[in-house]
Chains A and B, each alone.
Chain A
Amino acid sequence: EPEVTQTPSHQVTQMGQEVILRCVPISNHLYFYWYRQILGQKVEFLVSFYNNEISEKSEIFDDQFSVERPDGSNFTLKIRSTKLEDSAMYFCASRQHRTEYTTDTQYFGPGTRLTVL
């Protein structure tokens, strides 16, 4: 069964540095999402992406964040200047186009644990 994959599994960075988190969504999926989960807390929506553009973003997703689909398979989240409070697990998710015959299911990747020192 196809799965969403993410790299790296763990990223340690210094405050102020840029990081790029990578995701490979399921191949026939058209909608892509980034979520984050601070340790012990709930999963929070960051941004959704469809047709090569952002379709919705949360208040968390400020100017320090950006997303890109640089080719037909990868979907990236960039944090330009990391802060201590960016330390969290970042999950990528993808889903199919919603029709009468498909589900709304979002499939999550295994996550990237980002630690900002």
Chain B
Amino acid sequence: GENVEQHPSTLSVQEGDSAVIKCTYSDSASNYFPWYKQELGKRPQLIIDIRSNVGEKKDQRIAVTLNKTAKHFSLHITETQPEDSAVYFCAASPYTGKLIFGQGTTLQVKP
């Protein structure tokens, strides 16, 4: 069935370091891959997304890479700041539009 695996489940970095979160999806029909940031008790907020016809996308300190052959996609955050601390979810979406989420990564950025 459709599944998205996300690693690691927790990630602790020093302020200024980089953080990388990786996801693998199972449904080859998936063509849209968003990343959401969720702070405690809040709604998921989109931080970056990528379509399957693009291999990489960057927005300031955040970048996403996609390897369609391997069904892998990754989130890269550079120069991390304490306010980056949150739970990050990857998701994959087939043409039907629903989002299949990964299990989440709790990122802690230590000042």
Contact = CB atoms under 8 A, between A and B. Distances in A.
Interface of A: 31, 33, 35, 41-45, 48, 55-56, 58, 91, 93, 95, 98, 103-111
Interface of B: 32, 34, 36, 42-46, 49, 51, 89, 91, 93, 96-104
Contacts of A42: 89, 101-104
A35 B38 CA distance: 14
A110 B25 CA distance: 27
Contacts, number: 59
A105 B44 CA distance: 12
B97 A105 contact: no
B53 to A, nearest CB: 11
Contact of B99 (A43, A98, A103, A111): A43
Contacts of B104: 42
Contacts of B89: 42-43
Given A45-B101, A105-B34, A108-B36, 11 more contacts: A43-B44, A43-B89, A45-B98, A48-B97, A105-B49, A106-B34, A106-B46, A106-B99, A107-B46, A108-B43, A111-B43
A105 B36 CA distance: 11
Given A104-B34, A105-B34, A55 B96 contact: yes
A109 B42 CA distance: 9
A105 B89 CA distance: 14
Contacts of B49: 103-105
A28 B45 CA distance: 19
B97 A108 contact: no
